[in-house]
Structure 1
């Protein structure tokens, strides 16, 4: 049975990336790990939030009642910004980790070091000439993230769509587990995993060969038989495969039957036997 990783603290049932969501997710049956997104406030403090702008829409409502780029916003404003119309606010990474038991792991996704998506080289396997530059761009923020994680004794896994972020993690503290997030290029993801000897790889849910999901398009990754059996290749190389993002039990069951190791899910209890869901 595949382990369940709570996507943003089970964003389908709670205000995403908040302390309240984390506490609820940690208490849910079957939760092995909580996946969160981090980026810097204007002062450089790591905060837990997904989108680069505070007012990005979620099903017709803004993510928070504040506006502007996260990394241009002062920490006090972020910590008082209400998430999705609730009383939950944007937490610092330290506050988030302090609120959950160390029996539940945390997958820290490094979203941005404080720059727009145009500069991040998302999903790319970088040519050698660009790697040092991208690592150096991420290093100051990743140092702050690693420092904030230092007091947490539970399992930690760092992931990112950006090679520069993973390169910075490996340089700062190679003892932490790392995983490239795959966007639309499976070979690039595998190359990055090999380059930094990553413990895991995180492909999208329709990239797993032999499933019905592989016939459907998802977030830019086209449907049809995948050109690479990423599950087979990653397992042959000794890497864990955690798939994102699952929305229902039917999708969970397909991927678990295919043999993936972990499933990043929006809803709790998907890994609980069907009689107990």
Structure 2
């Protein structure tokens, strides 16, 4: 399953707090057809959108996300740190609410399974329960293959993707074992040979995180199917130029 050629990274991370409902809405406003966001587990098994292990960077608290239960997490302000104060009071969303928001806005949703303490299988199973059978315009990805395997145990049909910082030698065996439809790679070590290898395998290739129009245009010309961007409006403007 192909996503769009520009995917809003963590919602629309340059314009609204990352992994927030405000960011998802902003991505739709600037013309995105797909967004990516990070799903992680709280101490009580609740699945929320959040990227870091630590609360320090993106909330008004300190400590670790894994130590919070939902009653605590919902009190955190995930917008106070961002920008000019417009997002003060923004709350950490449940994955379930983010899915509903994407469906209401007709956005595709790349759910990245974000693990921090070896809870991959547990996270995968929990996200599979939330996604259920309505897998249209949903793709699940992770660096953590245990998380993908956990998800696959309960949901054999939803498209999957493996994320790598750099393509390992045995990537194709891993991709075959998980039956993934796409590979997601960091831009920095990317080569023409790597792009060709992934494309020759019959899989789509998406690259993160591209915030420059020229870089996006170059990658598309090399055969990359799409890019994740904090500035999707900027990268989308290439298509109209």
User: If the TM-score is normalised by the length of the shorter chain, which range does it land in?
Assistant: 0.7 to 0.9
Choose the corresponding residue for 1:191, options 173, 177, 183.
Answer: 173
Residues 36-185 of structure 1 mapped to structure 2, 5 A cutoff:
36-55=37-56, 62-85=57-80, 86-101=88-103, 103-112=106-115, 115=117, 120=118, 138-150=120-132, 154-185=136-167
CA separation in 2, counterparts of 1:66 and 1:21? 20
Q: CA deviation at 1:166?
A: 1.7
Q: CA deviation at 1:78?
A: 1.1
Choose the corresponding residue for 1:241, options 193, 202, 205.
Answer: 205
Is 1:11–2:13 an aligned residue pair? yes
Is 1:266–2:230 an aligned residue pair? yes
TM-score normalised according to structure 2 size? 0.87
Q: Are the equivalent residues in 2 in contact too, given 1:38–1:47 (CA < 8 A)?
A: yes
Q: Secondary structure at the match of 2:185?
A: coil
Q: Secondary structure at the match of 1:143?
A: helix
Q: Secondary structure at the match of 1:80?
A: coil
Q: CA deviation at 1:72?
A: 1.2
5+ residue gaps in structure 1?
Answer: 56-61, 121-136, 211-228
Alpha carbons of structure 1 residues 178 and 197: separation in structure 2 relative to 1, 3 Å:
same
Q: Secondary structure at the match of 2:103?
A: coil
TM-score normalised according to structure 1 size? 0.76
Q: CA deviation at 1:15?
A: 0.4
CA separation in 2, counterparts of 1:263 and 1:14? 19
2:194 alignment counterpart: 230
2:85 alignment counterpart: none
Aligned residues: 230
Q: Are the equivalent residues in 2 in contact too, given 1:179–1:202 (CA < 8 A)?
A: yes
Q: Secondary structure at the match of 1:140?
A: helix
Q: Are the equivalent residues in 2 in contact too, given 1:35–1:106 (CA < 8 A)?
A: yes
CA separation in 2, counterparts of 1:187 and 1:253? 28
CA separation in 2, counterparts of 1:192 and 1:275? 34
Q: CA deviation at 1:275?
A: 8.1
Alpha carbons of structure 1 residues 154 and 87: separation in structure 2 relative to 1, 3 Å:
farther
Alpha carbons of structure 1 residues 271 and 63: separation in structure 2 relative to 1, 3 Å:
closer
Q: CA RMSD of the aligned region, Å?
A: 2.1
5+ residue gaps in structure 2?
Answer: 81-87
